[in-house]
Structure 1
Amino acid sequence: MAHVTKSPTMHAPADRFTGDVYLTMIEPPSEPSRLTAALVRFTPGARTNWHSHALGQVLHITDGVGLVGTRDGTVVRVSVGETVRGPAGEEHWHGATDTNLMAHIALVVGDGNGDGTTWLEPVTDQQYAQALTSHR
């Protein structure tokens, strides 16, 4: 057994997120395991860029209210205790609503070449506003 003390919280990279997002690693990838787990906290209005995961992703909401959207226009409103499973290769984004923070635990299994995440362009303000409007 290993008792792991709390990792430092850091500001998430600005080239992958819009707004203030904070990241605390729970389990960094280390061989032989390929699991990456992180607590991600989004301030109101903050969100990820569009991205995909080679082997999919699981998000478990721990605080607040947020949105998860896919390229086909599907958007789900999520809140505490809910889980979203994204399939391998699906381009999506996630973040807080404009009036609430949102935090989730993100679980990703790497593909042998890192965590398997492909980061894409930012979600536009128009795309975000449309998602909010349809899920008030």
Structure 2
Amino acid sequence: MEIFPAGNRPSRRASSDWFTGTVWQDPIVEAPDPARLRALRVSFEPSARTAWHTHPLGQTLYVTEGVGLVGLRGQAPRVIRAGDTVWIPPQEEHWHGAAPDTGMAHIAMQEARDGSVANWLEHVCEDDYGAAPKA
């Protein structure tokens, strides 16, 4: 067993290679092999979001604060709110982030396959982000 005391692992700013806007990540768990679970608390400032990406074994998001958006390739983004859970199947191209005027935080849970949890693609263009319904 291993206990990670609160505040013992620093927040880190998410890479601009994979995120638009200001996004902070706080580690929850990166379980050692043979376990595959990886989880982070991710906090998005208004309008901040991920790039398009996929996960080899899918992803679960649990929204803890605020209002956000989640988008699938070829579809208008959908509004998500605190308390919502989102399941994204393996290899489905998607993005997620905060609404234009409201921050959002979620717990992102995914499993690693051969050490990889995500395949990052291009940034979400303003037209795709702006196609969202009003939060």
TM-score (norm 1): 0.93
Flag as ranges the 4+ runs of structure 1 deviating above 2 A. none
Show the counterpart of 1:127.
Answer: 128
Percent of aligned positions that are identical: 43
- 1:99 and 2:87 equivalent? no
Would the aligned equivalents of 1:49 and 1:119 in 2 still touch at CA under 8 Å? yes
Mapped partners of 1:75, 1:46: distance in 2: 14
Show the counterpart of 1:64.
Answer: 66
CA RMSD of aligned residues (A): 1.2
After the TM superposition, which of the residue ranges 23-32 and 8-17 deviates more from structure 2?
A: 23-32
Show the counterpart of 1:36.
Answer: 38
Show the counterpart of 1:84.
Answer: 86
Would the aligned equivalents of 1:34 and 1:115 in 2 still touch at CA under 8 Å? no
TM-score (norm 2): 0.93
Show the counterpart of 2:116.
Answer: 115
Report the CA distance between 1:116 and its aligned residue. Answer: 3.0
Per-residue CA distance 1:60-113 (angstroms, 9 max, x = gap): 0000000000002142211111100000000000000011000000000111x2
Code of the residue aligned with 1:15 in structure 2: it is: D
SS at match of 1:122: coil
Code of the residue aligned with 2:65 in structure 1: it is: D
Q: How many residues align?
A: 133
Show the counterpart of 1:54.
Answer: 56
After the TM superposition, which of the residue ranges 25-34 and 39-48 deviates more from structure 2?
A: 25-34
Report the CA distance between 1:135 and its aligned residue. Answer: 3.6
Code of the residue aligned with 1:2 in structure 2: it is: E
- 1:5 and 2:5 equivalent? yes
Return 5+ residue gaps in structure 1 as ranges.
none
Report the CA distance between 1:29 and its aligned residue. Answer: 4.1
